[in-house]
Chain A
Amino acid sequence: MDVQRLLAEQQILVDDETLRAVEEWRRAWLREWERVRAFDLRDEDLPAPLWCWPP
């Protein structure tokens, strides 16, 4: 999704320099997120706060 629109929808106004930096951050984060996307989550893997959080 377009970062500018995503921020605007949340009424977050940033200057052009910050916007470019956020776009770059998001590209890097999506690369990192691939590790999670590739993760073999099973149906029974519940969010931590529902069963083991706080530890």
Chain B
Amino acid sequence: MVLAAVKDDLAALATAIRACRLSPVDLVARCLRRIQATEPGLHAFIHVDGEGALAAARQREQEARRGEIRGPLHGIPIAVKDLFDQAGLPTTAGAAIRRSHRAAEHATAVRRLLDAGAVVIGKTNLHEFAFGVTSINPHFGAVANPWDRERIAGGSSGGSGAAVAAGMCAAALGTDTGGSIRIPAALCGIVGLKPTLGRVSRHGVVPLAWSFDTVGPMARTVRDAGLLLSVLAGPDPNDPLTVHYGPFTAALPAPPSSFRVGRLRGPLFDEGLDDQVGAALERACDLLARAGGRVTSVTVETAAAGQAAQTAILFAEASAYHLRAYPGRLAEYGADVRELLAAGATIPATAYVDAQRVQGVVVAQTRRVLEEVDLLICAAVPIPAPRIDEVDPARGDGWRRARGPLSRLTRFFNLTGLPALSLPVGRTREGLPIGVQLASAPGNEARLLGVAAVLEAAVDWTLPELAD
């Protein structure tokens, strides 16, 4: 058995590298051995840049010996969802039609990781073009869940989720348009943070739906997610949405001594919850109350209508992008994404406008709720990870039935643009991770991470050594 390459958090790794107690070359080599041992069963990566990562690690090591530390991620191996450009490497977006693509420059998020000293170890597998929540990819393989190889890792950032959970890298980059960071984080037992829309530049990232596309970290701990956000966040002239927020400097926020948590109630949040997921959510609320939180029930009356609005906006934008970027090539897509893109083209312009008007109403109602509480809580994914054979488009239409439930609870936070985080809080009887979602007001990631750290400590979750 090749043990997980990474067990310490990012700050501990960085401290050890700075003090020359840990060699970046050894760390990267351990990750590569772990990838070699686990990848055949996981399909977490599309491209492993072994040579490039080792060369970068050697440089970081020499720099560390000279006391030249580039930043808080100096020498730390990070995986990047294959939706981000990294100069010289392919950005397939998980699609056969982009196999020959080569990026000319770095995506802003990748550049910021590299400037902070990170070593990019490879590009992770995903649902084709990020348009799906299973990461069953017809071109690059189905990403398996490290906790049970017969189950999905979730998506669309499934490769990033599996790679972090299996200890193949220290952390990973993901994107989230309807839950694509938080769903795999919940199903793989790691922390996934979707920052406020506009916090992190999307420049150099293949789009899915501009109104919702968000870049964020996937990590082992809340503290790691905060550290990564501090590296990633900040204005970028190449992404006009980022002008609204400054850099994120509260990487390790002190836990608040008291806070108000609104437990989201209503049909959207209460119906269809697996019993074990519901019990885990109850326990999380109890733990927050014991840690000084005041937990009350809150409702957003328009949340259910908002789901239909989010579908209309996301599908129409995805279809608009793809039909222009790859005209006449739908037949080369996987069956599910082909169907969804054609479906999006049937949404009338009047529905798109009405959906944006409903979005405004939902945003306003949610803002009012957030005047009464500091944070919102609900489950992350209402069901445990389905089996791959049950939701593989090549084996039937189970994927259509699973798509709605898997993203049901995450999409609300894309529609409202709030920062939202999935945190592991327990396991099912079968041993599969269960996550809860916390969200805060726009731009208040510091409060979100602070309370998430309180819950994380109360849950006492440790990512175990998962088998090869």
Contact = CB atoms under 8 A, between A and B. Distances in A.
Contacts of B353: 47
A39 to B, nearest CB: 5
Contact of B343 (A26, A47, A52): A26
Contacts of A35: 304-305, 307-308
Contacts of A49: 211, 356
B330 A52 contact: no
A55 B196 contact: yes
B contact patch SS: helix
A54 B309 CA distance: 16
Contacts of B340: 25
Contact of B358 (A19, A41, A54): A41
- Of A13, A41, A55, the most chain B CB neighbours within 10 A belong to A55
Interface in A1-37: 3, 6-7, 10-15, 18-19, 21-22, 25-26, 29, 32-33, 35-36
Interface in B362-388: 363-364
B198 to A, nearest CB: 4
11 contacts: A6-B345, A12-B330, A13-B330, A26-B346, A29-B343, A36-B308, A36-B312, A41-B354, A51-B360, A54-B244, A54-B417
Interface of A: 3, 6-7, 10-15, 18-19, 21-22, 25-26, 29, 32-33, 35-36, 38-39, 41, 45-55
Given A13-B330, A47-B359, A55-B443, 16 more contacts: A13-B328, A25-B343, A29-B312, A36-B351, A36-B354, A41-B357, A45-B360, A45-B361, A46-B360, A47-B353, A48-B356, A52-B360, A53-B417, A55-B196, A55-B363, A55-B418
